[in-house]
Structure 1
Amino acid sequence: MTEQSGTRQPIADQMYAILLQQFMSGERTPGESLNIGALTRELNVSQTPLREALARLEHTGLVQREALRGYRVAPMMTRDEVEQLMEARLLLEPSLAKAAAANVTDEFLARLHETVVEFRDSADHADVEAEGFNTYWRSDDRFHMLIAAQAGNRFLELSYAALGGQIQRFRLFSKFGRTGASRAAPEHEAIYEAIAAGDGARAAETMRRHIVGATERLLGT
C-alpha cells in the first residue's frame, strides 16, 4: 500500500478507518493484542502510519497501550465503569441539552434532525447488521457532539469531549446484542423536540432519561 495524493485519504487515515471498522464489526475483540509487526504484514503497510493510527485510536479510548507490551483493544467495560460513566454523564449532558435549547439556530436544528433520522433508520438493524451498527454508532456520536457544541460553553464542551473516549467504549461494547437502538430512537426524538421547542427543562429531563435508559439497556437491567 502506498501513500495517496490529492483528495484521497492519507495512509494513516486509512489505517484508522480500517481498524475502527474491525472493532465495530467484532473482528477484533475486547482485550485482543494489536501486534505492530503482525498488523504491518496483514495490512501491507509500514509501521509509521500504523503507529499514528493506533495513537489516534488510543486517544478515543478504544485502544490501550501498555508499557513493554504494546497496544491492545480496550477491554470490556466493567459494571462499575459503566455506572460511573453514567454518573459523570448525568452531571454534564442534561445541562448541555438545557443550554443548547436556549441557543437554537435553524442550521443546528437541521443538522441535529439529520442525526435523529439516521439513528431511527438504523434502529431495527443495529444489533444484527454491521452497517446498521455503523450508522447507529456515528449518528449517536454526532447527536451528542452537536448538542455539546451548541450549548455555547467551551469549558462544558471540553468536559464532554474529555469523556468522549469512554463513551466510545460504551457504544462499542453495547454492540453485543444490547444497543437498544429501537428504544433509544424515540429518546433522541424527544430530546430533539424539546430542544427545538426551546424548552430547556424538558430537554434536560429527556436527556437524563436517555442516559439512564442507555445504561440500563447495556447492563440488561
Structure 2
Amino acid sequence: MIEPTATRRPIADQMYDLLLQQFMSGDRAAGQSLNIGALSRELDVSQTPLREALARLEHTGLVEREALRGYRVAPMMTRTEVQQLMEARLLIEPELAEQAALRKTDAFLRTLKETVDDFHRSAEAADVETERFDLYWRSDDRFHMAIAAQAGNRFLEMAYAALGGQIQRFRLFSKFGRTGARLAAPEHTTIYDAIAAGDGAAAAEAMRAHVTGATQRLLGD
C-alpha cells in the first residue's frame, strides 16, 4: 500500500492517488461515506495524511464534506451539471488547443501521441473492463492536461485545472456503457492531427466538437 522508502513520496500524495483510483474504479461508490477513522485502519496510515488527501480531493469536487457528518464521495453529476460543465469547458479548451498548436514542439507532440495511442488501446473495452476504463480515463486526463500545459498561458491552464475534479466526475458518470470511448478516440486523433499541423483554428474546432460530442453521448441526446 505504501511505497518503499527509497522511492517514497509524501504519504498524503500516495493517499490522494489511491483514493482517486478507488473512486474511478468504482471501489468507493458515488455518495459513499468516507470515515477517516475507518479509512485509517483499512489503509494502515495515520489520520493526518488522510485528512490532507481528502481536503485536496474536496477542492477538486470529487469529495464533499458535510457538517457533523464528515466526508463522502461526491454524488453522480446531474444533467444540469453535465451541461454546465460543457459550457465552461467550451470557454477554455478550444483556446488551449489553438494556442498549443501554435506552440507545438517535438517533445510535446511525442507526449500527446502517446496519450492518443493509449486512448485507442482502451477504447474498445473501456465500457466493460475495469483495467481498460482505468487506461481510458488516465490517458484522457493526460491528453487534455498536456494541451493545457503547452498553451503557454498559466491562467488558462489554472482555469482548466480548477475544473479537473469535475471532469473526473464527468468521466466517472460516463462509466458502465456510456463512455463513448470508441467515438472519442478518433476525435482525439483529429485534435492531435490539427495540433501537429500547427493549425490553431482547426485544433480549436476539433476540441469544440469533442467536448460537445462527449456531453451529448453521455446525456443520450
TM-score over 0.5 (shorter chain): yes
Secondary structure, aligned partner of 2:64: strand
Amino acid at match of 1:174: S
CA contact (8 A) 2:60 2:162 kept: no
Amino acid at match of 2:208: R
User: Matches of 2:73 and 2:115 in 1, distance apart?
Assistant: 28
Q: Tell me the residue number matched to 2:201.
A: 201
CA contact (8 A) 1:3 1:10 kept: no
CA deviation profile, 1:148-173 (whole Å, cap 9, x unmatched): 11111122111111211211111121
User: Matches of 1:167 and 1:149 in 2, distance apart?
Assistant: 17
CA contact (8 A) 2:119 2:136 kept: yes
User: Matches of 1:197 and 1:3 in 2, distance apart?
Assistant: 41
Q: Tell me the residue number matched to 2:147.
A: 147
User: Matches of 1:29 and 1:109 in 2, distance apart?
Assistant: 36
Which moved further from structure 2: 6-15 or 98-107?
6-15
CA deviation profile, 1:142-194 (whole Å, cap 9, x unmatched): 11111111111122111111211211111121113211111100000000000
Q: Note the C-alpha offset of 1:52.
A: 1.9
Describe how 1:17-96 pairs up with structure 2 within 5 A: 17-96=17-96
CA deviation profile, 1:22-81 (whole Å, cap 9, x unmatched): 212212111111111222222232211221221222222211112221100001111000
1:182 matched to 2:176? The reply is no
Q: Tell me the residue number matched to 2:125.
A: 125
Aligned alpha-carbon RMSD (Å): 1.6
Greater than 3 Å deviation, 4+ residue runs: 1-4
Q: Note the C-alpha offset of 1:2.
A: 7.4
User: Matches of 2:45 and 2:107 in 1, distance apart?
Assistant: 41
Percentage identity across paired residues of the two chains: 76
Using structure 1 for the length normalisation, give the TM-score.
0.94
Which moved further from structure 2: 179-188 or 169-178?
169-178
User: Matches of 2:185 and 2:113 in 1, distance apart?
Assistant: 12
Q: Note the C-alpha offset of 1:13.
A: 3.1
Which moved further from structure 2: 57-66 or 107-116?
57-66
Q: Tell me the residue number matched to 2:107.
A: 107
CA contact (8 A) 1:31 1:72 kept: yes
Q: Tell me the residue number matched to 2:165.
A: 165
Unaligned runs of at least 5 residues, structure 1: none
Which moved further from structure 2: 209-218 or 171-180?
171-180
Secondary structure, aligned partner of 1:134: helix
User: Matches of 1:199 and 1:10 in 2, distance apart?
Assistant: 41
Amino acid at match of 1:32: Q
With over 3 angstroms needed to count, the CA separation of the structure-2 counterparts of 1:201 and 1:22, relative to structure 1, is same
Unaligned runs of at least 5 residues, structure 2: none
Q: Note the C-alpha offset of 1:3.
A: 8.3
With over 3 angstroms needed to count, the CA separation of the structure-2 counterparts of 1:128 and 1:100, relative to structure 1, is same
Amino acid at match of 1:199: D
CA contact (8 A) 1:4 1:10 kept: no
Using structure 2 for the length normalisation, give the TM-score.
0.94
Give the paired residue count. Answer: 221
